[in-house]
Amino acid sequence: MKNPSINIELEFISSDILEEFKGEEKMQYILDKIKDNKILVMEESLSSTDEAKLIEATMRNISEKFSGIEVSTLREKQENGIRETIIKLLGGKTGGLTVIGPSKLIKQIKKEPKRISVLAEKKQSDSEKNSEE
């Protein structure tokens, strides 16, 4: 039985890169990287609306090879708080962090209010097992 080495690639993405994209482009940029088996750590928290858009975009991308994502967001403060709204109006960044990866790679993502822990494991799908036999 083969015991292949496991490579897990992490990519840290600055919020400056994400600002270049608008609407659906941003979601597709994220999903293209995840479909390439990367775990992304993004220097921004997605808003609730963006999270919903990301889930919608994920559903449209699901196939036999891509079964979806695991995602977790840390927000520094309340998303729609006065401080955050003023910072956004002035063009500033409110901080936060988002971790996203393919569900086939992320075994568990544990979220707490101020901490995210990720356990990644290369799982072999039934179809991969069958192709080895």
Partner 1 sequence: MPFRKLLGWFKGFFGKKKIIRLGLYGPPNAGKTTLANKISIDWTGEPVGTVSEVPHETREVQKKERVIVKVGGRKIVMNLLDMPGISTKIDFEEFLQYGFSAEDAKQRAKEATKGVIEAIKWLENVDTALVIMDSTKDPYTQVNITILGNLEARNIPIIIVANKIDLPDSNAKWIEEAFPQHPIVRISGLTGSNIEDLYNAIAKHSK
Q: Which residues bind partner 1 (CB under 8 A)?
A: 47-49, 51-52, 55-56, 58-60, 62, 64, 67-73, 79-80, 103-104, 109-113, 125-127
Tokens 């449209």: give the residue.
Answer: 60
Q: Which is nearer to partner 1, 16 or 60 (CB)?
A: 60
Give the contacts of 37 (CB within 8 A, at least 6 positions apart).
Answer: 8, 9, 102, 105
Minimum gap (Å) between residue 115 Cβ and partner 1: 11
Give the type of residue at 40: L
Decide whether 3 or 127 has the Cβ nearer to partner 1. Answer: 127
Mutual angle of helices 48-61 and 24-35, in 10-degree steps: 50
5 to 2, 8, 33, 121: CA distances (angstroms): 10, 10, 21, 12
Q: Which is nearer to partner 1, 14 or 125 (CB)?
A: 125
Q: Shortest gap between Cβ of 16 and partner 1 (angstroms)?
A: 24
User: Least distance (Å) from partner 1 to the CB of residue 52?
Assistant: 5
